[in-house]
A and B are shown apart, each in its own frame.
Chain A
Amino acid sequence: MQKVFQKSALLTDTPFHYCPGCTHGISHRITAEALEELGGKQGIIGVAPVGCAVFAYNYFNCDIQQAAHGRAPAVASGIKRVCPDKIVFAYQGDGDLASIGMAETVHAAARGENITIIFINNAIYGMTGGQMAPTTLIGQKSTTSQGGRTAALQGNPIRICEMLATLDGASYIARVSLHDLKSVVAAKKAVKKAFDYQVAGKGFSLVEILSTCPTNWGMTPENSMEYVKNEMTKVYPLGVFKEV
């Protein structure tokens, strides 16, 4: 018998600290597998965010720099400019990328920095206890929108991919999901493609991965996947928004 699936060499043996059913683990795996397909771990530098994925440096078996909250695109830009021959990626959640780090994200894309960002959108602040994020859906309950988010009081959710796709510096912008097997396979292809764009020197690439937060959504892991499929994809349609 031959092994048809085993853990990527780019993941360490450290057990993930994530809650049961959290899709951060799947995102880590597909990112590691996509990077592994590009070559050895010598040529890769990651940037870890603040948020649930703050310990990403324990999980990826490559060099990783931890950035201040939201500043991962700025740190990644600096690393890439100093080491242009390395593959540089930032792994960020929605509270990190779309809230405190919005300026860094938009300007890194506008400058066309040749980096790849893996953007985990679970529509909530996970690590701090389920507060409303910029990406929280209208009607979605969180600890800071207890009756459900309303446009009148808390404003509308931000669609990062659509926004960044308008910028000239962006080369590959796609939104994928992890709600079923087919979408997981498609997500890995998109992540791989984003890294391919970086290797080809085409400029800023970002893959938004619709993810779950069963703990803070108050759902089972399986129901969370249904929520992504039925509710989140309505507000955040899947697809490729820019490809040059």
Chain B
Amino acid sequence: MANVVFNEPLCKGCALCVSVCPKKIVSLSKRSNEKGYFVAEVKDMSLCIGCAACALMCPDVVIEVSR
């Protein structure tokens, strides 16, 4: 049981989190934030293992991880 929370207004859609996720569950959504970037999201949170790889790679400290 793990959970990641994206602070969407801060996301710049760089997709570095997408590239490091070992479970390949992070993707860029079709939803844009106020800055106009397509924000990252996890569609199926039940697959998340809470490794925090996405959070460690995020340049804008957008992601919070709990486990």
Q: Which A residues are closer than 8 A to B by beta carbons?
A: 1-8, 11, 15-16, 18-26, 29, 180-181, 184-185, 214, 220-222, 225
Determine whether B42 belongs to the interface, using a CB cutoff of 8 Å to chain A. no
Measured in the bound complex, the distance between the Cα atoms of B59 and A19 in whole Å is: 10
> Residue on B with the closest CB to A3?
B66
A26 touches B52 (CB 8 A): no
Determine whether B25 belongs to the interface, using a CB cutoff of 8 Å to chain A. no
Measured in the bound complex, the distance between the Cα atoms of B67 and A51 in whole Å is: 38
Query: Contacts of B9 on A, CB cut-off 8 Å?
Result: 15
**How far is the CB of A231 from the nearest CB of chain B, in Å?**
18
> Residue on A with the closest CB to B63?
A5
A11 touches B15 (CB 8 A): no
Measured in the bound complex, the distance between the Cα atoms of B63 and A65 in whole Å is: 29
Determine whether B29 belongs to the interface, using a CB cutoff of 8 Å to chain A. no
A-B interface, 8 closest residue pairs, ranked by CB to CB distance from nearest: A25-B59, A21-B14, A20-B12, A20-B14, A5-B65, A5-B55, A1-B66, A5-B52
Apart from A5-B52, A11-B61, A25-B60, what 7 extra A-B contacts exist at CB < 8 Å? A1-B2, A1-B66, A5-B56, A5-B63, A16-B60, A18-B60, A221-B16
User: Given A3-B65, A4-B50, A4-B66, are A221 and B15 also a contact pair (CB < 8 Å)?
Assistant: yes
Measured in the bound complex, the distance between the Cα atoms of B12 and A220 in whole Å is: 13
Of the four ranges (under 10, 10 to 19, 20 to 34, 35 or more), the interface on chain B belongs to 20 to 34
A5 touches B64 (CB 8 A): yes
**How far is the CB of B13 from the nearest CB of chain A, in Å?**
6
A-B CB contact pairs (8 Å), 24 listed: A1-B1, A1-B67, A3-B65, A4-B52, A4-B66, A5-B55, A5-B56, A5-B64, A5-B65, A6-B64, A7-B61, A15-B10, A20-B37, A23-B59, A24-B59, A25-B58, A180-B20, A181-B20, A184-B57, A214-B14, A220-B15, A221-B16, A222-B19, A225-B19
A20 touches B13 (CB 8 A): yes
Query: Contacts of A15 on B, CB cut-off 8 Å?
Result: 9-10, 60
Q: Which of B15, B16, B37 has the most CB of A within 10 A?
A: B16
Query: Contacts of B61 on A, CB cut-off 8 Å?
Result: 7-8, 11, 16, 25, 29
